[in-house]
Structure 1
Amino acid sequence: MKKRTIEIMDTTLRDGEQTSGVSFTASEKLTLAKLLLEELKVDRIEVASARVSKGEFQAVKSIMEWARETGRIHQVEVLTFVDNGASIAWMKKAGARVQNLLTKGSLNHLTHQLKKTPEEHFEAISRVIEIAQNEDIETNVYLEDWSNGMRNSQEYVFQFLDFLAQQPIKRILLPDTLGILTPSETFDYIKKIINRYPETHFDFHGHNDYDLSVSNVMEALKAGAHGLHLTVNGMGERAGNAPLASAIAVINDFLPGIETTAVESSLFKVSKLVSTFTGFGIPANKPIVGGNVFTQTAGIHADGDNKKNLYFSNLMPERFGRKRKYALGKTSGKANILKNLQELGLTLNDEEVQKVTERIIELGDRKEKVTTDDLPYIISDVLDSTSFKQKVFIKSYVLTHAKGLLPSSTLSIEIEGDSYEEHAQGDGQFDAFMNALKKVYETRGSKLPKLVDYAVRIPPGSSSDALCETMITWRTGKKDFMTTGLDSDQTVSAIKATEKMLNII
């Protein structure tokens, strides 16, 4: 069966920019325009509204200069208005060649906003289309509030479509402007229109106010829609537009008779760039592009993946240039840890895996986030802790730091069954702790090794704030040795490294 290819028009740079608090610079718009058309390979992009600002004019001008050089001039569209040709003049100066003319798709909007009759509106529209034709500008027509028009004033909508069917236009754009349609309504309305105007190209433009935009996209295509309007990360006014990544994945997986030119493997890259430009983070649980989408957290899922990929679906991360991850936390269990060890190329015995698991669960109970990058540090710390028989226990300590006062520390320590408590001040909290510790060892007639180097680092590449590693080099006579401590608090990790040193000596 021959597949039906549908057009994807990305409107991130126009409708997506109507997200509250979002504004793209001219250079950002040009960068995204290139990425959307050249790499993601959508069919068309809507880049601006006419007559909005000088900045918008410069953005469109730079995009059109690039589009002309690369033969993409008819893939770039601008939203225009029924303004007796003023928008057309603006477009012509900017070099744009395709207008998306905004008209009224419901009798309610026409009557109360424009206060015109249908005939008066149609006459004004035909004048704009004629001006565009004379200027060699291609016209598509938006029916604003079309979804409410179909619900409440179908006679007007069909009167309007009868008029447009006789006009020299390329496409009719059907927006669910307020995101009010149900999937069944979307199918019924578009099916009725396609049957009545089989020779006309219709795009569906969905909004997401009820979180139904992707479902509505599916039904629009099943009903015969020829194109879709989508935005990266579902950006747009109010709850946003139908999200590009989700729509493409759904089409590829659930609509076998339909195809697009969009490149799945570029979706995540474009999503991240739009997030960077706008400052709007991608929710971790957002389908396809969210941080957690391909992350298994429960240990039972990782175990199932080891046994015939029981928790895999067709939605494989590799399709989108991503990788499956196994989260480390209190619910991850042994199976998740083994998956992460496998990725790192590390092998531990059962006892060592159990100890690492216990440490990760302990961090999870403290609501610390642990990543794969943290894992080697945890392993090193846990295995290092078992390399000696512990005879020294730092039981308790208090660290204080107040403005105008020297930092101080009180500690309680057990050495080979004997308990000691001391208090001291110092240049910093750890220095105060070490001064108190020296007092304890002086009472025992012992001398501590000299601290010769102190370094703190977080795991390279780690995106968590769960752990930092403190590495302290000690000197006894002419011999140097190093101990490490691991904790979310820098001073505590240094104290843990010190406790290891006390047991080694």
Structure 2
Amino acid sequence: MASDSTIDTPDADRVYLFDTTLRDGQQTRGVDFTVADKAAIARALDQLGIDYIEGGWPGANPTDDRFFAEPPKMENARIVAFGMTRRPGRSAENDPGLAGILDARVPAVCLVGKTWDFHVDVALEIERDENVAMVRDSIARAVTVGREAMFDCEHFFDGFKANPDYALECAEAAYKSGARWVVLCDTNGGTLPHEIEAIVATVAARVPGTHLGIHCHNDTGNAVANSLAAIRAGARQVQGTINGLGERCGNADMMAIIPNLVVKMGMTTNVGADKLTQLTSVSRMLDERLNRSSDPHRAYVGAAAFAHKGGLHVSAVQKDPKTYEHVEPGIVGNQRHILVSDQAGRSNILARFAEIGVEIDPKHPKIQRLVDEVKEKEFLGYSYDSAEASFELLARRLIQGVPEFFTIERWRVMDERRFNARGDLVIESEATATLTVGGTAHHEVAVGNGPVNALDTAIRKALTPKFPAIQTMRLIDYKVRILPPARDGDGTDATTRVMIESEDETGTTWRTVGVSPNIIDASIAALSDAITWKLLRAGAAVPKTDA
């Protein structure tokens, strides 16, 4: 059943945003959305200001069926049902597949059909005129039952190169049958930007740009560039996914398309300056839903998109960010990061102090000591540009001191491989840890899924009664890298670097690093820093020495 949404009057100055994360993005290897995932992502896209949200294919699977049975209520966007045109030899009024799409309780549908004669001849094995009739009849039927109709011109650019007259005939059939949008698809992702712009301009002479959309895949790494080229040529709807999710190499990344349209090209979209600030949070929300790490180097929204490491860069950015930033990071909800590494100079250190709220005289003699210590530690295997919490602790210890909340005196781990009474193989780690807290020694034992988990559990057992703040922190990422020896000598004397990322109940994340020839020792060092940073930020007090 259709909603009360009305079909917009074509506006040549407006670009409409169509997100297909929930349909095309779900075809990504390893991605499997639940109904709850789909609803949450749809609501986030709606709040962002996306015009169309393609929810999936009714009838294709139980998840999509449940989603369309009760689609989430939208404030800005229209939920779109995706499916195929009628089948050969059937009428549009008597095709069960088409009926299932048109019966979805959403105001818009997007029907896909062939526009490449090669596919019509080889894949469908039907007459080319019948394929055109399938397009025409299906779009007309969607309009008749009150849906906003869109036609996905599958393989349009390959088809246009092979037989431009036939590709145009298919597109025109959809438009003349009442399609609000005729979407030109670079399905194989092999077309380049200059080709896209020329072909879209040709199509726009037959189908008005206010009714043309673009859908690009990223197989040549040009999906975003191709999408923008189509807009330049007159198309006024652009399709993509959050973070470029999609089959093979992915779809055009909406997180890059939107700011490029709004900030760089000055186009009008429903995502204005006030909503543009949500981009980074929407990008990271999807990664959280997928339980995977965000790409730090993603344009605009990545954690490294506005990160500065070289000393000369940092010095210039402090004077005027425009020296090394093409836009202000806050525009897209991101933030600037000054990294500290063996390339750091005084400018990096002072900028990091400002970020963590430490006021210090730029001429303070300990600053150079800190610069030298950072460079020495990174030579030994530490990496502070990715472990900002460990750097903060290093800096505070040198400049102003850090409370000694606890001391890990000794630890021991035993691993056991055995079969239980049922004959099941069991691999279990048992850890013992001795800590001093408030002048009192605490000895705890715990078992876990691996030695680090067992030690973490034992340490928490000792600390939680005194420091309840650590109950809400959890380890969300653990990385190990084996490094070659820093000093000349035995080539087998490798160093292990452990990076830990932690998170608390507020959603705050922080990263710490530990380095040692022993992987467990390196892990304990990183874990100790993580707990200490949390306690420092929570304003915890050092326990009084027991009498």
Q: Alignment partner of 1:236: what SS? A: coil
Alpha carbons of 1:333 and 1:149: their partners in 2 closer, same or farther (altered >3 Å)? same
| Cross-structure match for 1:503 | none
Secondary structure at 1:63 match in 2 = coil
| Residue 346 of structure 2 corresponds to residue 334 of structure 1 | yes
Choose from 261, 280, 283 the match for 1:251. 261
Q: Which residue of 2 aligns with 1:363?
A: 377
Identify the residue that residue 336 of structure 2 maps to in structure 1: 324
Please state if 1:465 is matched with 2:512: yes
Contact 1:234–1:242 under 8 Å retained in 2: yes
Matches within 5 A, 1:293-332: 293-309=305-321, 311-332=323-344
Partner of 1:240: 250
Task: Give the distance between the partners of 2:400 and 2:320, measured in 1 at CA.
Answer: 35
* Distance in 2 separating the partners of 1:115 and 1:210: 30
* Residues 30 and 62 in structure 1, CA contact (< 8 A), matched pair in contact too: no
Aligned identity (percent) is 20
Say whether residues 1:264 and 2:280 are aligned partners: no
Corresponding position: 1:4 with 2:13: yes
Residue 282 of structure 1, CA deviation: 2.2
Cα 1:191–1:345 change in 2 (3 A) is same
Contact preservation (8 Å) 1:282, 1:289 = no
Q: 1:199 to 1:255 in 2, by over 3 A?
A: closer
**1:285 maps to what in 2?**
297
Q: Equivalents in 1 of 2:160, 2:315: separation in Å?
A: 51
CA distances 1:338-367 after superposition (whole Å, capped 9, x unpaired): 001122332345321122222322332314
TM-score normalized by the length of structure 2? 0.69
Match of 1:378 in 2: 394
Q: Are residue 108 (structure 1) and residue 111 (structure 2) matched? A: no
Q: Structure 1 residue 198: deviation in Å?
A: 3.1
Q: Deviations over 1:188-214 (max 9, x none)?
A: 000011123337600011111111111
Choose the corresponding residue for 1:353, options 345, 364, 367. Answer: 367
Whether 1:231 and 2:241 are equivalent positions in the alignment is yes
Kindly provide the amino acid, as one letter, of the partner of residue 332 in structure 1. Answer: A
Whole-Å Cα distance in 2 between the matches of residues 219 and 382 of structure 1? 53
Give the secondary structure class of the aligned counterpart of 1:204: strand
Deviations 1:258-315 (A, max 9, x none): 2211231111111111111123432111111212111111122111122333634342
Task: Find the aligned partners of 2:163 and 2:382 in 1 and give their Cα distance.
Answer: 55
Corresponding residue for 1:81? Answer: 84
Q: Provide the rounded CA distance (Å) in 1 between the counterparts of 2:311 and 2:12.
A: 41
Distance 2:391 2:103 in 1: 58
Aligned residues of 1:284 and 1:293 also touching (Cα < 8 A): yes
Structure 1 residue 487 displacement after superposition: 5.0
Shift of 1:76: 1.5
TM-score where L is the length of structure 1: 0.75
| CA shift in 2, pair 1:130/1:193, >3 Å | closer
Partner Cα distance (1:488, 1:129) in 2: 60
**Long gaps (5+) in structure 2:** 1-10, 87-91, 402-409, 417-430, 443-461, 464-469, 474-501, 516-523, 533-547
Residues 1:97 and 1:301: Cα distance change in structure 2 (over 3 Å): same
Q: Following TM superposition, by how much is the alpha carbon of 1:488 offset from its aligned partner in structure 2, in angstroms? A: 4.2
Equivalent residues in 2 for 1:87-166 (5 A)? 87-166=97-176
Distance in 2 between the 1:25 and 1:144 partners?
27
8 Å CA contact 1:373, 1:462 repeated in 2: no
Partner in structure 1 of residue 57 of structure 2? 49
1:58 is displaced (CA, Å) by 1.0
Equivalence for 1:25: 34
CA RMSD of aligned residues (A): 3.4
User: Structure 1's 117 and 239: CA in aligned 2 closer, same or farther, altered over 3 A?
Assistant: same
Cα distance in structure 2, aligned partners of 1:319 and 1:351: 37
Task: State whether residues 372 and 462 of structure 1, in contact with CA within 8 Å, keep that contact through their aligned partners in structure 2.
Answer: no
Shift of 1:167: 1.1
Q: Could you tell me which runs of 5 or more consecutive residues in structure 1 were left unpaired when the two chains were aligned.
A: 386-397, 405-426, 435-449, 469-485, 495-505
In structure 1, how many angstroms separate the alpha carbons of the residues matched to 2:369 and 2:514?
17
* Letter in structure 1 aligned against 2:246: G
- Change in 2 beyond 3 A, CA 1:121/1:384: closer
Q: State the aligned residue count.
A: 419
Letter in 2 for 1:81: M
- Rate the CA distance shift 1:21–1:371 in 2: closer, same or farther, 3 A: closer
Larger Rg: 1
Shifted more, 135-144 versus 264-273: the winner is: 135-144
